[in-house]
Chain A
Amino acid sequence: MSKSGILKSTIARKVAMALSAFFLMVFLLQHLIINSTSMVSADTFNDISHFMGTNFLIQYILQPVLLFGVVFHFIMGFVLELKNRKSRSVKYAKNNGAANSSWMSRNMILTGVVILAFLGLHFYDFWIPELITKFGQGNWSGVVEGHEGLRYFGELQHKFVDPVRVGIYCLSFILLSLHLLHGFSSAFQSVGANNKYTRGLKNFGIAYAVLVPLGFVVIALFHHFNHC
């Protein structure tokens, strides 16, 4: 088989999807850990954010890799979905999917699209202003007018004042949780890991899928109510 044949194969694509998912899940965990410090100490959060926002390795190596991982995961998700739809051109008149599979496993594209829409809002809220400040205005100091000290904690709190935005964030994290409830164990199955550790991995996956999004919900609500 040619190399291009392997890259086009069902299994290779699913493995690539799983590897990008592993990467994104690790990123999500570190994002939660860093954001959690904002509930404990504004200074700590500011210091970590400034380090992350100005470190060469993170900005010019890890950030592009992260962006590639996100884009790849979404594009591949749509590519796979398109092929899946073509694979059944005539639908069943009656189909009882709930009899043999979970809602989460059957609706990964739906939860994925909601997460994609949320990422658009999240980039609009944080990432694009960050790019404008650093690359547009050339301000890498972390200090701006109207903020005492480093700006990051103040910007975070400001975003969570609007209850509608907080509601959208919370709803998106619930959808993320549903996505992860299937995605975590599915990624391991895709790379061929189904053995004596599978039951433990599934339980760990459920804990991850519930606790990580819940952590983000708690942070959003914490800043909303503390700011008001």
Chain B
Amino acid sequence: MMNLTLRIWRQKDSNSKGRMVDYKVTDISEHMSFLEMMDVLNEQLVNSGEEPVAFDHDCREGICGMCSLYINGEAHGPDRAITTCQLHMRSFKDGDTITIEPWRATAFPVIKDLIVDRMALERIQHAGGFISVNTSGNTQDANSLPISKINADEAMDAAACIGCGACVATCKNASAMLFVGAKVSQYALLPQGQVEAKERVLNMVAQMDKEGFGNCTNTGACEVECPKGISLENIARMNREYLKASILSK
């Protein structure tokens, strides 16, 4: 069992000024998940008549991309290739002080406490992260199109992005290039994505810039912290797609 000090960002709403507040939690099992530990804290706060700490979570299986949290200076905490909900308390020691902050980016304004508005990523998706298909009954079976194994695998790897925003949170420039690179790549590698390829990359990059994300300086931090292991190759592919589209577009 562990006794911990939690240093947590508290902010009433998007218009209020926030601050770091210290809390003590006791008898925390090392088998608990990090979010279960947060639940224990919130029970404690509710029982003492205080406002519980607001934080995003949903599936708690590392799939939905809802959980976030910047823990001890790292997106999703100290472990690799996991989301915050998959982080366990065995990664910490008795007596530790754990600093917990929301994702920090101008494009991700804080809504309350540890919850940020990540709709900027959705708007980038809406700008071109799709294929237009007539679904009126004559849709071609996707498996009837020949696709090389390498391309299919790489497209699948890119599609593994859950849009959690850890890449933005960890990048020193708050750049969303890994997210956009993955979304562009998953279609650029498949025949279904070719028809709208030029418009897709131009529109998604334009929307990314409009949202106020920073420039990629290729530090590679996003790849290291990504819970789904999205590779930097996707950013390079997006850069190629963008250059090609810029030169060839009418």
A binding-site residues for B, Cβ under 8 Å: 1, 5-6, 8-15, 80, 83-84, 86-97, 99-102, 105-106, 108, 182, 185-186, 189-195
Contact = CB atoms under 8 A, between A and B. Distances in A.
B101 A93 contact: yes
22 contacts: A14-B215, A14-B216, A15-B239, A84-B175, A84-B215, A87-B106, A87-B173, A87-B174, A87-B212, A88-B105, A91-B104, A93-B7, A95-B73, A99-B73, A100-B224, A101-B172, A101-B224, A102-B219, A105-B218, A192-B243, A193-B236, A195-B233
B152 interface: no
Contacts of A93: 7, 9, 20, 99, 101
Interface string B88-117: 000000000001010011110000000000
B83 interface: no
Contacts of B208: 10
A96 B170 CA distance: 9
Contacts of B209: 8-10
Contacts of A97: 73, 172, 221
Interface in B33-91: 70, 72-74, 78
A193 B173 CA distance: 21
B12 to A, nearest CB: 15
B224 A1 contact: no
Nearest to B169: A92
B232 A88 contact: no
Contact of B213 (A1, A87, A194): A87
B121 interface: no
Nearest to A91: B104
The list of the 6 closest CB pairs from A to B, nearest first, reads: A96-B73, A194-B236, A87-B214, A192-B240, A84-B173, A100-B224
Contacts of A95: 70, 73
Interface of B: 7, 9, 20, 70, 72-74, 78, 99, 101, 104-107, 170, 172-175, 177, 202-203, 205-206, 208-209, 212-221, 224-225, 232-233, 235-240, 242-243, 246, 249
Contact of A11 (B74, B172, B219, B238): B238
A182 B7 CA distance: 34
B198 to A, nearest CB: 10
Contact of B175 (A87, A108, A194): A87
A139 B105 CA distance: 57
A106 B171 CA distance: 10
B218 A186 contact: yes
Of B220, B225, B237, chain A has the most CB atoms within 10 Å of the CB of B220
A94 B170 contact: no
A189 B205 CA distance: 17
Contacts of A11: 205, 238-239, 242-243
A99 B208 CA distance: 26
B202 to A, nearest CB: 5
B220 A192 contact: no
Contacts of A5: 206
Given A11-B242, A100-B221, A192-B243, 6 more contacts: A9-B242, A84-B173, A88-B104, A93-B101, A99-B78, A191-B239
Nearest to B19: A93
B214 A12 contact: no
A129 B230 CA distance: 53
A189 B218 contact: yes
Nearest to A99: B74
A84 B74 contact: no
A84 B218 contact: no
Contacts of B177: 10
A165 B191 CA distance: 60
B215 A10 contact: yes
